[in-house]
Structure 1
Amino acid sequence: MVPPADLDILRSVNQPAGAMVDWAMEAASNRGILLTIAGLAAIYAAFRSVHRWLAAILLLAAIGVADLVSARALKPVVARPRPCQELRDVRAPLECGSGRSFPSTHAADSAAAATVFAWALPRFSALGIVIAAVVGFSRVYLGEHWPSDVLAGWIVGAVIGLSLIFLTRLRYLLVRR
């Protein structure tokens, strides 16, 4: 059973808004674009100073771990169908995904990247947050995820990003002794 809030939000977001909006939402959900942005951010962080190479590695590791935890560990256990699989009236501009819905791996990856990005380059933290928000919105707009899938993905990604930052800082403190 779908929580009423999920259904209400999905129905309000999953409305036709024109070809340009469809194109923008499809672009925001494109993993290749997201990985390119993350890669460029990692390269930028790596060349900012001698210590930023660690941030670059951490950024890519956070995305990888978030992807694994979301797609391989959580989705098979929860096995929640996507809105475009479950509801006939959901508008799905893209072909409906065959996988499971909860949590959103796109949201987890983008939140993990945004968390590490905010830690590594605090001046640009708003950019990472905006990208993660647009990615999450696009997944609901495209009918691929319920809003709670996206929220859970953001939480998973942020926790993974923060955990990797904590472990990195802990290792640094222990090595300095």
Structure 2
Amino acid sequence: MVEQAALLRWDSATFGVINKLFTSGFFDALMPVLSNLAYWLIPLGIIWVVYFFRSDRRGKLIALCCFLVVAATDQISSSVIKPIVQRNRPCNVVPQTHLYLNGKWLYTDKFGLTTYKSSYSFPSSHAANIAGQAMYWSYFHPQISPLLVFAAVSVGFSRIYLGQHWPTDILAGYLLGMFVALAVAYPLRAWVLPDE
């Protein structure tokens, strides 16, 4: 219980620092872009298509199996864990949260009594999805891992900044994504692509 209370205090304090003390016009413009995975789809989609069509059988299989990682991280986080844990989002319980909602910035009410987002927060599906892809592709192509880690950290930070998630939601999403990625990548390399 002591450890749990300490973790919750850390979660709340870290959220406050990122969401309230780091606010600026620059971050207000940047963070919604980083958080919106649709913006990532175009460059990543182009890279994926080039990778797929320029690869041999091994590369094509690696490219196709990345979709298993996406499907698993998304469904496990959204359809399995969130309904079990049912953790409220910070924007629903922390007064005066700096919140990005429906394309606009606002501050939540002074008492933390309004529901701004009905979906649960733990774990972050954004974090799980991006960390899953970062780990998966880093497993096969470690030379690009710094760029992928930067992308994952950027998305995770943005979710806290936007008032959508607690820091532990992000960390749990990262862990889930990495676990799923390894659960797909390791057997793929060991059994299906043993010639490496």
TM-score, normalization: structure 2? 0.81
Q: 1:40 to 1:98 in 2, by over 3 A?
A: farther
What's the secondary structure of 2:99's corresponding residue? Answer: coil
Q: Which has the higher strand share?
A: 2
Question: Structure 1: which 5+ runs fail to align?
Answer: none
Matched, 1:35 2:41: yes
Q: 1: CA distance between counterparts of 2:193 and 2:28?
A: 47
- Structure 1: which amino acid aligns with 2:127? A
Q: 1:115 to 1:48 in 2, by over 3 A?
A: farther
Matched, 1:131 2:151: yes
Q: 2: CA distance between counterparts of 1:80 and 1:22?
A: 25
Residues 37-67 of structure 1: per-residue CA shift (max 9 Å, x gap): 4423322332443021112112222112101
Matched, 1:152 2:159: no
Instruction: Name segments (4+ residues, structure 1) moved above 4 Å.
Output: none
Matched, 1:73 2:93: no
- Structure 2: which amino acid aligns with 1:121? H
- Structure 2: which amino acid aligns with 1:5? W
Cα shift at 1:128: 0.8
1:107–1:150 contact (8 Å) kept in structure 2:
yes
Within a 5 Å distance, the mapping from 1:1-177 to structure 2 comes to: 3-15=8-20, 17-50=23-56, 51-95=58-102, 96-172=116-192
Residues 132-166 of structure 1: per-residue CA shift (max 9 Å, x gap): 00000001111100000000000000000010002
Q: 2: CA distance between counterparts of 1:120 and 1:163?
A: 13
Residues 1-39 of structure 1: per-residue CA shift (max 9 Å, x gap): 880000110000002633331121101111212333442
Single out whichever of 92-101 and 126-135 deviates more from structure 2.
92-101
1:28–1:138 contact (8 Å) kept in structure 2:
yes
Larger radius of gyration: 2
What's the secondary structure of 1:92's corresponding residue? Answer: strand
- The two structures, once aligned, show a CA RMSD in angstroms of 2.0
Q: 1: CA distance between counterparts of 2:146 and 2:54?
A: 19
What's the secondary structure of 2:46's corresponding residue? Answer: helix
Question: Structure 2: which 5+ runs fail to align?
Answer: 103-115
TM-score, normalization: structure 1? 0.89
- Structure 2: which amino acid aligns with 1:108? A
Single out whichever of 99-108 and 31-40 deviates more from structure 2.
31-40
